A and B are shown apart, each in its own frame.
Chain A
């Protein structure tokens, strides 16, 4: 066998023939998609754990917000609009496979139109997500947390309840109002120092019996709220409402009430609390939206190369690879749509 012969005939055993009837690029994109899928699965796993470990939808008092999954005053996700967006993504997947089919059959112009239609679907999808994020941010939700809204004036747990009551009852002292509003509550379970300094590490190092919600959970307990072990990490922002309630409950004099009033004002001025619902939806939809955006750029590159006549019936593997990426984005959305919007 001459050197040339050896070069042209790849030394692949006969038994392997037919087993690898795909390009290296196709195998590589599958390996990439598999690793990318694991990243998504990691995020989704975190979402599931956090959702299950925080209390369900409740009307929380300010300091309970970090322990609740989605306070009922948190902004709602628009299921119908997102359903329409999901349809757009499915349609873009169809136009993608139609583009590949057109390339394979030699209908290059038709293929280019389908590529453009796919990219347009992606742009619509990302555009809708920008609109949705804008809506959420205006409603007080960001990745770092949730803005505390003005509570109902009739709610005795309203951060501004004392000032309002004092304004309506000028003959009474704020201290007596604060005692009436908060004095009847059992505060023995409170351990403010522990609450203030509680970190993720404390949860990790806690003996198992502390993680049983019925036993010595160091966090405060409220009637009617089931406390599950939570991974919510108190931050400086969290402490504003928590400290606020604490001060009012333990007010010994007018000065204490005034100090609490300053904190109340902070809450009314838009104090934020960390909230896992907000953090996770922004991370998940953001990570997916980034994939869609990259996909749109990818499709534009495919389109411009197609315009140069690079692809045809015998050379369309790069189009198929781009398609695999695009369908993967659709595939992930099936899961995200179900877990975030439908459940």
Chain B
């Protein structure tokens, strides 16, 4: 099948990140997440720790590959990372309160 809007001048092969591999990992992690509450229980320390770790892993994959932060200029990573640091401080402060 040819793409009629593509010309040889325009055609420039990019090396793309392994999007389908990232999708497979994200889908698998989501499946695991769904099984954690029925198996381990809703609000146990083990369940909370596992779910938080999986969520961080998923967010890292989305930001790194889908949002291209793993390949982009480092200053974008710094910009994106700032609220993560502030949010972590806020969450730790909440945890100390309760």
Contact = CB atoms under 8 A, between A and B. Distances in A.
Interface of A: 18-22, 26-27, 30-31, 33-34, 37-38, 41, 45, 48-49, 52-53, 56, 79-80, 83, 86-87, 90-91, 93-94, 96-98, 101, 104-110, 309, 312-314, 320, 323-324, 327-328, 330-331, 334-335, 337-338, 342-343
B43 A343 contact: yes
Given A101-B14, A108-B3, A331 B62 contact: yes
B30 A87 contact: yes
B66 A338 contact: no
Contacts of A101: 14, 16, 19
25 contacts: A19-B73, A19-B74, A19-B75, A27-B76, A33-B80, A45-B94, A48-B94, A79-B34, A79-B37, A83-B30, A90-B26, A97-B19, A104-B16, A105-B13, A106-B3, A106-B10, A108-B3, A108-B6, A313-B10, A334-B58, A334-B62, A335-B55, A335-B59, A337-B33, A338-B55
A20 B36 contact: no
Given A330-B62, A335-B55, A41 B5 contact: no
Contacts of A26: 76
Contacts of B3: 106-110
B39 to A, nearest CB: 12
Given A49-B94, A94-B19, 20 more contacts: A30-B80, A34-B80, A34-B83, A38-B86, A52-B94, A90-B26, A94-B66, A97-B17, A109-B3, A109-B5, A323-B66, A327-B63, A330-B66, A334-B62, A338-B51, A338-B52, A342-B33, A343-B37, A343-B48, A343-B51
CB-CB nearest 6 A-B residue pairs:
A108-B5, A106-B10, A106-B6, A52-B98, A327-B66, A94-B23
A22 B55 CA distance: 28
Give the interface centre of B11, B58, B72, B79 by most chain A CB atoms within 10 Å.
B58
B79 A30 contact: yes
Nearest to B26: A90
Contacts of B68: 320
A323 B67 CA distance: 8
B98 A22 contact: no
Give the interface centre of B7, B30, B42, B91 by most chain A CB atoms within 10 Å.
B30
B90 interface: yes
A324 B69 CA distance: 10
Given A53-B98, A106-B6, A38 B66 contact: no
A31 B79 contact: yes
A41 B88 CA distance: 10
Contacts of B86: 38, 41
Contacts of B6: 106-108
A98 B4 CA distance: 18
A49 B87 CA distance: 14
A327 B10 contact: no
